[in-house]
């Protein structure tokens, strides 16, 4: 089985469908997997993980809204639990410090929303980032 959603492929595409559902028609079609993109094997595990991520994304989104502007506090960011992609973590930190909103990060990066929002919430809770409130 393979999956594609917007510019995401493989498991990231499946996770994205659960994290950011939209009205529409979804089709599941049997047959040989696509020539490009990763092959997905265990559908049940994939769906269980997608549901878990969706729930955690809701919590992280409550802490870090879509249009939030974040700012570094001067405290070092702590490692993000269970995130093995160091390059992704660096990119997220740089974008957050540059004032890029989470919504824009989700549009730009090929990972699912959970992998973007969770580190931001982790750093916010840990004191390495703070929310910037717009002037009134």
Rounded Cα gap, residues 110 and 5, in angstroms: 10
Per the model's pLDDT, the better-predicted residue between 23 and 129 turns out to be: 129
Encode pLDDT of 36-54 as tens digits: 555 556 777 888 888 888 8
- Are the C-beta atoms of 120 and 102 separated by less than 8 Å? yes
Instruction: Provide the pLDDT for residue 38.
Output: 55
Per the model's pLDDT, the better-predicted residue between 61 and 16 turns out to be: 61
| Beta-carbon contacts of residue 40 (< 8 Å; ≥ 6 apart) | 1, 2, 3, 10, 11, 14, 46
Rounded Cα gap, residues 99 and 81, in angstroms: 23
Instruction: Provide the pLDDT for residue 33.
Output: 56
Instruction: Strands of 39-124 (E only): list them.
Output: 70-72
Position 70 confidence tier, pLDDT thresholds 50, 70, 90: very high
Per the model's pLDDT, the better-predicted residue between 2 and 77 turns out to be: 77
Is the pLDDT at 35 greater than 70? The verdict is no
> For the whole model, what pTM was predicted?
0.73
């Amino acid at each position: 089985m393979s999956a594609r959603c917007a510019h995401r492929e493989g498991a990231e595409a499946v996770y994205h469908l659960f994290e950011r559902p939209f009205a529409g028609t979804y089709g599941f079609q049997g047959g040989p997997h696509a020539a490009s993109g990763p092959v997905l094997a265990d559908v049940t595990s994939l769906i269980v993980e997608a549901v878990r991520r969706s729930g955690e994304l809701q919590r992280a989104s409550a802490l870090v809204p879509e249009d939030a502007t974040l700012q570094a506090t001067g405290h070092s960011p702590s490692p993000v639990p269970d995130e093995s992609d160091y390059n992704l973590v660096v990119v997220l930190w740089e974008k957050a410090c540059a004032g890029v909103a989470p919504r824009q990060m989700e549009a730009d990066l090929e990972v699912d929303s959970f992998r973007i929002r969770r580190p931001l919430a982790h750093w916010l809770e840990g004191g390495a980032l703070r929310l910037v409130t717009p002037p009134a």
